[in-house]
Structure 1
């Protein structure tokens, strides 16, 4: 087993103190939006005090580190990335591509000579990026499209020409194609509304909220987004999307192609090992509307809340409908030895307390904020102590 150190990401939307408080380190004085624990080339975790990184450790002996099964399915790379995420303000309206689109896009940008770290590059790897977020605090998000008829109802009666146009599109075609037409109308550079058009619709939502709105949550979200990103068409797009509130201990799965935006909270994320993000708004980062519109799944569906299965009493396992990852959360309260689920390469992160993790040949003590990479050859694990562990592994 190898101790690893996470890599912080200072995106502007991040809380300055939520992750430092959770993982017990001094706030650096700016936003700490995410902490990464993985081997993605853009930010591999440091190993054993930083002498090398996790990607190099795996590359030195992929058979021992990953195991033959994982290598056969994913090659000589760790297939997942574990993160802590802490949005203090809404982050971008975005979608993650599927494998085919990511691979084609990566190769096209390579042929065009776009540097891998260029701010305007869309594809930083060839992988898809489905993800699962597990809430540590109440966690607010928008995820996937509402039913077209329900979305049309939200635009009905608003004193806004833009709302009238979107209402007509959805009423005339209450199908995925109608949703596509409305979403494209908002974002495509040839039809996107002006900032003034957006402001008029925002004020109409504000007035509806004052007057006793039948959709106060949707209208309040519009006002929240307008305060953060005034004039952005993504504000209006929020009325097309499902609102989601996760309570602590609940999880949400976001598939490739699923439009989403995280609004606020603190959570654990596990995802396919990728940094591919296609943005359409609510951001100061690079936006590629055409690429995003081609990657979106327009079928209306409720958010995918993932219920856990209980493993030996102390552990809840959240199985995602993909082969790249699963997440488990172990709460130890009795200082007894408990088996841990999972196999192959694993990353364990201690969120609270002191926990001793044991394999057949090794033992490591984890305290709040410390993490360890467990190679496939370590085999079955157990834990004892009092505290909380999260673990990412491969199904």
Structure 2
């Protein structure tokens, strides 16, 4: 096991307190950049520093390159090459961040090669494709977390947009209801948007084409008068129940409009599914799915890619045309990877989240000398009680192969292998190479205060 450090990332939407508290960093003043993300990373642009025996300094990427089988394992080396297959982060959003899409596989490869041919530096602000990989990501809330993910049913989109007294909302309603009677013969007013549809749109049903047009209306409209969107959204809130999906969607849009008061793309949030996560709840976001994070602190794990295509709600580079080429316009319920039969199930002190991909999985667990019930696991077990009964009780085993990162998020704990025993306090982490084999995570007998701790465990699902 090797001590590993997170790479801090400062963005305008980040927090001034949450990550600083977890990682025991100095609190930032009002003029300092906000801390948004902490990366545990083998990504070429931001590899995590690590300590080798004898106090020698290195970084995760160099160590994997020097001995890939020992570090990531034979299976991962054969499938992914001498790389870290995933990127693990802790993020904290104090204000909403960009309305975005991650490019699908072939768009990522084409865009990466195209920008390389154009000579655009990998760290250039106008660069959209920093990697040739699609980015599929999963988020697990560490506190109440709100987001907008994927498109809601059209009937819900219309209900919300009709409640907002704003000219752009009315244009979006028109786009959602203007039918195409013959494929290839769109209403003339939408000819400009239809030429930006991906090639796969030739097989789309008409409803999906209308969703694309309404989304296009919002992200390509000129800036509005300052404050007009927020006012219209607040007035709409007065006409819906104080709880429920309509209010959740409007609340997210109000927060976005407050931060981006002239940006009409905030109205896209009314087309999307509002996601409200309690601690331990999760959502999986495959490439192509539009999403925006609104507020909260969470663990995030993804394929080892930093590709982001933004359409609005940001001061960063927007790449609307490439985003639209990857946009998934099919309405669908957000995916919870902890509710799938292919995810390992929750038990008393451990919850695992495993989407149907081979690059990564994540576990959220607790150790406690008192062995009391963990409310988070209990709540999820109750939520998925039918699934638990169907597949029966299981003792979950953390992977014994592949590259693994263990982060202590609260209290203290011990990580034990056949050769080594390491104690971790809040904010400390270790990289566990494949060669270390089986691990146990338990109470730290020398921990501060009561002997308990919580942790995040990132790994490949081998």
The answer, yes or no, to whether TM exceeds 0.5 is yes
Give how far 1:208 is off.
2.8
Shift of 1:354: 1.9
Written as runs of structure 1 = structure 2, the 5 A alignment for 1:1-395 is: 1-29=1-29, 30=32, 31-48=34-51, 51-156=57-162, 158-173=164-179, 175-188=207-220, 192-196=221-225, 200-211=228-239, 215-307=246-338, 309-310=344-345, 313-334=348-369, 341-342=398-399, 343-385=401-443, 386-395=452-461
Greater Cα shift, 208-217 or 169-178: 208-217
The CA deviation string for residues 330-377 of structure 1, in whole angstroms up to 9 with x for no partner, is 2111289x9850121101101122211111222211111111111111
CA distance in 1, matches of 2:248, 2:455: 34
8 Å Cα contact 2:142/2:280 also seen in 1: yes
Q: Structure 2 CA distance, aligned partners of 1:72 and 1:270?
A: 21
- CA distance in 2 between partners of 1:208 and 1:366 (Å): 49
The 1:64–1:211 alpha-carbon spacing in structure 2 relative to 1, beyond 3 Å, is closer
Q: Deviations over 1:127-155 (max 9, x none)?
A: 11111111111001011011112111212
Q: Secondary structure at the match of 2:8?
A: strand
Whether contact under 8 Å (1:39, 1:54) holds in the other structure is yes
* Equivalent residues, number: 390
The 2-side partners of 1:162 and 1:313 are apart by 49
Alpha-carbon distance between aligned partners in 2 of 1:111 and 1:96, rounded to the nearest angstrom: 21
Q: Tell me, yes or no, if the aligned pair for 1:315 and 1:340 is still in contact at 8 Å.
A: no
Once residues 8 and 360 of structure 2 are traced to their aligned partners in structure 1, the CA distance between those partners, rounded to angstroms, is: 21
TM-score for the superposition, normalised by structure 2? 0.80
Displacement after TM superposition at 1:22 (Å): 1.7
Q: How much does 1:99 deviate?
A: 2.2
Counterpart contact for 1:148–1:178, Cα < 8 Å: no
Q: Go from structure 1 to structure 2 and tell me whether the alpha carbon gap of 1:303 and 1:212 turns closer, same or farther (over 3 Å shift).
A: closer
Kindly report the root-mean-square deviation, in angstroms, between the aligned alpha carbons of the 2 structures. Answer: 2.1
CA contact (8 A) 1:347 1:372 kept: yes
Please give the per-residue CA displacement for 1:200-233, whole angstroms capped at 9, x wherever unaligned: 5543333233455684333333322111011112
- CA deviation profile, 1:211-269 (whole Å, cap 9, x unmatched): 55684333333322111011112111111111110001111111111111111101111
- Cα 1:153/1:312, change in 2 over 3 Å: closer
TM-score by length of 1: 0.93
**Deviates most, 206-215 or 115-124:** 206-215
- C-alpha deviation, 1:172, in angstroms: 3.3
- Partners of 2:171 and 2:217 within 8 A in 1: no
Mark the runs of 5 or more structure 1 residues left unpaired by the alignment: none
Secondary structure in 2 matching 1:122: coil
Whether the 8 Å contact between 1:250 and 1:306 is mirrored in structure 2 is no
SS of 1:324's partner is coil
SS in 2 for 1:352: strand
- Output the CA distance in 2 between the equivalents of 1:368 and 1:103: 39
